[in-house]
Chain A
């Protein structure tokens, strides 16, 4: 298994946000981590990336604990801008190139050229949406084994959503796994191999997208709406 979460628990004060999470993801799959706002998606993603310490349990990436080795094979896109906005695009590219052995500089320049973004452009001069695209281009220009994308299409227009999804699908190796959190299920369900439903810090479903559609006779979006009906 590429990713294994075993009995992972996490609380913020008295509030339990991850309750005994058990999850195993194989290599070579596109996985949707689906849940309502505040269900624990982002917390789980942050724990896998080592941005949050867990209270108990174990997270293994390719058999290794979260640390330097796991970070070498994970390419992570957070739900916020994590780049220094005072930097020029070329400086940020150099930064990624210096730290990530699997970073493909030519690929990122190609992706940014398609967006008409120049190496000398400063992030401060760009719109929020453009910065997100730069960030996505950087993340997808790594030859990672696990891509973790937290709400990559959150708060953007439908045309940009299509662009983002195309960028993701056209820029990852077949052997890699993508774990993508979102609540815009209808936009991504056609590309999902597996779905993981998370509600109130617990995994409620973890199965093949195709199997779920066959068994229920419904789209994943419809199943989600039923499962999470308020």
Chain B
């Protein structure tokens, strides 16, 4: 059943995302075309505006992606469409897992589209060679590609945990009899500040175990591997919190559903 649910979830979200991807690719193409005439001053000005718009579009793509996923979660499970979704012969866990997977799939798709649109806009001969040369280089004891790969995984985990935080807030808020949306916002704030508090706690523990850690950030003895270890602790911690949010979302959907 997961495959069927996922198929329809991706189909609905594609309806929102395709226009966004069209804008990104369109802007990339416009920049490329205008760059052929950049010596004409008026076109150069337009090109500058297009580049600024492109940067905004790229930045907001990730935010919009998250907003679409959350909007869909709310509408598909807790608004009128929920009357159909929750009467399908499908386990609640499958419904939730599909929403998480669709969040993951769409953010990867968005990332790929951004890369393609950047290449359309700014590709020059020898770019890949230069990129691979830089990626193969070593920075403070570690290859750059490993560092970038690590940060991408960390970014994905952080993104999914944030999405799950909102899912959990909605699931709790919409289990109430009244002020469902307000309750959801309140719970999102509680979770957010709670999470910040816990991160501070983890940082405190790290510093307690290794008191020279922060001081080392400023001197040359600090290596990239140490920094990654530091981030690794936070990554595992973030993933654990994501797991807790997943359980809360599932628990409230399964035991406290309240489609009044």
Residues of A with Cβ closer than 8 Å to B? Answer: 12-13, 46, 49-53, 68-69, 71-72, 74, 76, 78, 80-84, 86, 95, 98-100
> Are A80 and B80 neighbours in the complex by a CB distance under 8 Å?
yes
Residue of A nearest to B15 (CB): A86
Q: List 5 A-B contacts (CB under 8 A).
A: A12-B260, A50-B87, A80-B80, A82-B80, A95-B8
Query: Chain A contacts of B90 at CB under 8 A?
Result: 68, 71, 99
CB of A53 within 8 A of CB of B258, answer yes
Number of interface residues of B (CB under 8 A): 24
- CA A51 – CA B260 in complex, angstroms? 8
B146 at the interface (CB under 8 A from A): no
The contact of B178 among A13, A52, A80, by CB within 8 Å, is A13
The answer on a CB contact under 8 Å between A51 and B89 is: no
Least CB separation from B79: chain A residue: A82
Residues from chain B with a CB closer than 8 A to the CB of A76 are 83, 87
Specify the chain A residue showing the minimal Cβ separation from B177.
A12
Residues on B lying within 8 angstroms of A by beta carbon are: 1, 4, 8, 12, 15, 80-84, 86-91, 177-178, 255-260
* Distance A21 CA – B257 CA, assembled complex (angstroms): 20
**With A and B bound together, what is the CA distance between A69 and B90 in angstroms?**
9
Residue numbers in A under 8 Å from B178 (CB-CB): 13
CB-based nearest B residue for A81: B80
Given known contacts A13-B178, A81-B80, A86-B15, is B8 in contact with A74 (CB within 8 Å)? no
Task: Give the shortest distance, in Å, between B18 (CB) and chain A (any CB).
Answer: 13
A32–chain B nearest beta-carbon distance, Å: 21
The CA of A44 and the CA of B35, in the complex, are separated in Å by: 65
Closest residue of B by beta carbon distance from A72: B89
CB nearest to B83 among chain A residues: A82
A52 touches B91 (CB 8 A): no
Residues of A contacting B177 in the complex (Cβ-Cβ under 8 angstroms): 12-13
Q: Write the nearest CB–CB distance from B95 to chain A, whole angstroms.
A: 11
Q: Is B89 a contact partner of A100 (Cβ separation < 8 A)?
A: yes
Known: A13-B178, A86-B15, A95-B8. A50 touches B86 (CB 8 A): yes
Residue of A nearest to B11 (CB): A91
Nearest chain B residue, comparing its CB with the CB of A100? B89
B257 near A52 with CB under 8 A, answer: yes
Given that A68-B89, A71-B89, A98-B4 are known contacts, is A53 also in contact with B83, CB under 8 Å in the complex? no
Whether the Cβ atoms of B83 and A78 lie closer than 8 Å is yes
Of B81, B86, B91, most A-chain CB atoms within 10 Å: B86
CA distance A171 to B133 in the complex (A): 69
Output the least CB separation between B150 and chain A (Å).
39
Chain A residues near B256: list those with CB within 8 A.
Answer: 53
C-alpha gap A83/B87 in the complex (Å) = 12
Q: Min CB distance, A11 to chain B, in Å?
A: 9
Specify which of B4, B81, B88, B90 lies most central, judged by the most chain A CB atoms within 10 Å of its CB: B88
Q: Which single member of A50, A82, A100 contacts B81 (CB below 8 Å)?
A: A82
Complex Cα spacing A71 to B87, Å? 6
